[in-house]
Structure formats: C-alpha cells, structure tokens
C-alpha cells in the first residue's frame, strides 16, 4: 500500500514542486513505484517540471468526473519507468474539487504503488486542505530566508491539527558558503526554530534537474534514503567550504 506524502510550503518560490519531482525520481531509481500527483489546480506545473506536458491526455479531474479511470490518467515517465505523473486540471482552474474526491482517486491507486507524492499549493487556503486531506504524511519545504521560515511555521501549525503520521522538514536552496560564514541559519538551527524534524537539506545547485549529476543530486539521494529507511542522514551543504581551500571557494563564490 502506497505511502501518501504531501509536499507543502508556507509560500511559493521555495522549490516545493522540484523537491517532490526529484525525490520521486530518486525513489523510482531505487526501484520504488511512484506517483507524482499534482493537486495545485490553476498553477499546475509538475507535468512541465517532469517534461511530459505533451503526453497528458487525461488529468485528475477527468478521473474524478468519470471520463477515465484513475490509472488511465497516469503518464509514465519515458526516462524513469517506475515514475508516473498524475496531472491536475489544465482547462478549468476555477472548478470546485472536493477533498473527498481527490482522496478517492489517490486511494484507488494506492494498492499498486509504493509512494504517492502529492504536490500541494503554497499557502494554507482551500487547495492546501484539499491536498493534506489526501495524505498520511507531510513534508514542509522551506528556504533559509526569514519570510519563508515565518510562513513555514504557520503551515506547520496548521498541519499539526491533522492526524498525520509525521511532519518533516526539508531546507532547500541552501548556500553552503553563506552557511559556513554564518550569514544564514544552518538547517539544524531552522529545524530547532520550527520544532520539526529535519529530513533533508538541498544545496543551491544550478545543475540539478530530474536526475542530473551534482551536489544536489547526492542530497536528494540522501533524502530518498531517509524517506525509505527512516534514517536522518543529512547532506552537509557547508562541507566543501571549510578549511583553507574552503575559504578560497567561499571567496570565489561571492565574486561570481
């Protein structure tokens, strides 16, 4: 039976969709059967992030309204055969979709997959509640910026009103050079402030996109292992910026 995990954030622009997509890739590469479900109606883009927007024939609303079966609305990723995308509505973003309807569709897929990763709208409006109501676990994605942390704190408070098995934290877009210089809070400090267990740290890395190599790819693999095995091994984004040569890297990074 699939673990249903919702990915949420207090505000937009923190990389929530990318985190869900790249985690899905890592889980699929590890042999897990994964669905990436987009419940961000109106601003849906997980099919674009995954590069399958031209392959979408049905979406979750088609399944809800009986124009297709839930399985027919899934698109298998051409590069990662264990990864399937369930797109949200593309034609009528104002259509009301109840939380119960979304949950029924995801529940109907749960028996044949290992993970259903639910991409949730930012904020804590109706779309947030619709997505969270379908999940059993939650991952809050934030960045080290103060505004992001404030919104993440509000989101975590609302999540705790649900009967979720777990609420974990991923700190995204971490600048290791700034962390080493003490210019931003460390992920551990952020975890302590938000009183939420840290499950992953993703460094700022322009080279990461759906399986590409780079430091962020290593961080996503560690995150995937934590999700699968319940471990808490966290990527050290500041590691390469320590010591003499690290100080040179920090100086070069700031001058770019």
**Which DSSP string do the residues of 179-226 spell out, in sequence order?**
HHTTSS--HHHHHHHHT--EEEEEE--TT-STT--SHHHHHHHHHHHH
The answer to whether 75 touches 47, Cβ cutoff 8 Å, is yes
For the structural domain made of 3-255, what CATH number should be given?
3.40.50.300
pLDDT tens digits in sequence order for the chain, 256 residues long? 999 999 999 888 899 999 999 999 999 999 999 999 999 877 778 999 999 999 999 999 999 999 999 999 999 999 999 999 999 876 565 667 899 999 999 999 999 999 999 999 888 888 899 999 999 999 999 999 999 999 999 999 999 999 899 999 999 999 878 887 778 899 999 999 999 999 999 998 655 556 555 788 999 999 999 999 999 999 998 766 554 445 555 555 555 5
Per-residue CA distances from 234 to 16, 122, 171, 197, 203 (Å): 18, 25, 10, 11, 11
* Single pTM value for the model: 0.90
The answer to whether 115 touches 24, Cβ cutoff 8 Å, is yes
């Amino acid at each position: 039976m699939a673990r249903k995990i919702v990915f949420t954030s207090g505000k937009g622009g923190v990389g929530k969709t990318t985190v869900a997509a790249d985690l899905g890739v890592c889980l699929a590469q590890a042999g897990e059967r994964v669905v990436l479900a987009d419940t961000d109606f109106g601003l849906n883009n997980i099919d674009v992030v995954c590069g399958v927007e031209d392959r979408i024939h049905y979406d979750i609303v088609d399944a809800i309204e009986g124009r297709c079966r839930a399985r027919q609305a899934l698109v298998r990723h051409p590069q990662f055969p264990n990864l399937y995308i369930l797109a949200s509505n593309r034609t009528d973003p104002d259509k009301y979709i109840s939380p119960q309807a979304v949950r029924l569709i995801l529940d109907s897929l749960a028996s044949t997959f290992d993970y259903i990763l639910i991409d949730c709208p930012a904020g804590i409006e109706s779309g947030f509640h619709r997505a969270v109501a379908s999940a059993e676990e939650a991952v809050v994605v934030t960045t080290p910026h103060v505004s992001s942390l404030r919104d993440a704190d509000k989101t975590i408070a609302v999540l705790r009103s649900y009967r979720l098995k777990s609420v974990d934290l991923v700190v995204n877009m971490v600048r290791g050079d700034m962390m080493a210089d003490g210019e931003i809070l460390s992920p551990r400090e952020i975890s302590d402030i938000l009183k939420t267990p840290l499950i992953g740290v993703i460094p700022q890395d322009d080279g990461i996109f759906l399986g590409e190599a780079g430091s962020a790819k290593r961080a996503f693999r560690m995150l995937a292992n934590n999700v699968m095995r319940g471990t808490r091994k966290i990527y050290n984004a500041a590691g390469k910026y320590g010591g003499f040569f690290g100080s040179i890297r920090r100086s070069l990074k700031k001058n770019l």
